Amino acid sequence: MAALETLAAMKAVSAVDKIVPLAEGGNLQLRCCALWALGMLGGERAKATVLAAMKATSAPVRAAACDAAASLPGADVREALCAMLSDPSWEVISAAVNSLRKRNEIESVRPLVEAMQSAKGRLLDDFRDALETITGYRFGSDPRNWKDWLEETGGDVKRNPRPREDLSPYITYHRIRTRSLNMVFCIDVSGSMGEKASPRAAAYVGEGAKLEGNTKLDFVKAELIRTIFALPPEARFDIVAFSDDAAFWLGSQVRATDRAKKAAAAFVRGLKPAGGTNVYAALKAAFGKLKQDTPHYSHERDPDTVFLLSDGLPTLGEITDPAKLLELITRLNRVRQVTIHTIGVGRKGEPFLKPLALRNRGKYVLIAE
């Protein structure tokens, strides 16, 4: 896979004929990486292979093909991506929406608005980001706002529309807003999280958070507990606490019932700071294993959004080099389409946390500086 990425980076167009067979069958990860390389290299044969892969029976392959199509020119590619907005797999829809955002073509607006009307959860954030990028307007993730705008202006971005308030029911965690209903919170509980927090830390917890101490971890626990109790009952969530290794609260997504919220809060209150910072283990736990034999993912089983909070760079684990870990997660996420938001408790981890969020459609927030 590294060789494919090198060929793509070098724009080795002569390699297309050798890459096409890899994109048409075989190992799933290799096939997806080959599709990405073809998208970067371009050309008619590369385009034909990517468009054909959009019709594959495997959802990961369709998602990878949609991701690759972002770099390929032509109205036929745009139309194919718009057709994927009705795919049964949310990962495929997410990949198609993200590629349409990158292409930034006004012709995509109407299909995006129409498909957004039936979208749910995290996909609403994806549609919002794409439409705001293409149109320049900020109507939020409420589908009705975009539908009203389309009816009012016909999609003409030159017409000055009336303001529209976004009344969407967001979930907010450390000032990051999301429409996701399926998330994992990855919390650093290494020894350094037991240090006293900055006096400014209180500004980064939401209203209603109850502090039970003055360490960095105390502030983080208070905000996480507040967020958990604010989750709507249809949401699903889990928690990963990591230091020398990573430990799930449950190991599967659970509905946010009152009973689950109380149990999760008890787990969070019991977290103690100790050990190093194994970010690799945390992200591996959050992502889970790539299912190669299922036609599409189950939204109820796999999270679509990860919140990663840490006060430093990786120090333990199979991969500690921030650059290598960043490349690995970015590569995996071409298929998974998980949004990764990152929260830095101080600036020490920023060189890793910030690009991790930016490369994976997330937001980076600095707290307790």
pLDDT digits (tens, 9 = 90+) for 196-210: 887 666 666 767 777
Predicted confidence (pLDDT) at residue 255 exceeds the cutoff of 90? yes
Each residue's pLDDT tens digit, 154-205: 888 888 787 788 878 889 999 999 999 999 999 999 999 999 887 666 666 7
Residue 99 — pLDDT band, cuts 50, 70, 90?
very high
Q: State residue 202's pLDDT score.
A: 67
Please indicate whether residue 302 or residue 353 has the higher confidence score (pLDDT).
353
Token pair for 98: 């993200």
Beta bridge partners of 246: 242
Q: What pLDDT is recorded for position 369?
A: 65
Of 16-25, 38-47, 296-305, give the lowest mean pLDDT range.
Answer: 296-305
pLDDT (tens digit per residue) in 235-244: 999 999 999 9
Calculate mean pLDDT across residues 126-134: 96
CATH class of 171-367: alpha beta
The topology (CATH level 3) of 2-153 is Leucine-rich Repeat Variant (1.25.10)
Q: Contact at 8 Å (CB) between 342 and 350? A: no
Tokens of 262: 């109380």
Buried b / exposed e along 238-268 (16+ C-beta atoms within 10 A): bbbbbbbebbebeeebbbbeeebbeebbebb
pTM of the model: 0.89
Calculate mean pLDDT across residues 29-38. 88
Q: Hey, where are the domains in the chain? A: 2-153, 171-367
- Structure confidence at residue 7 (pLDDT): 56
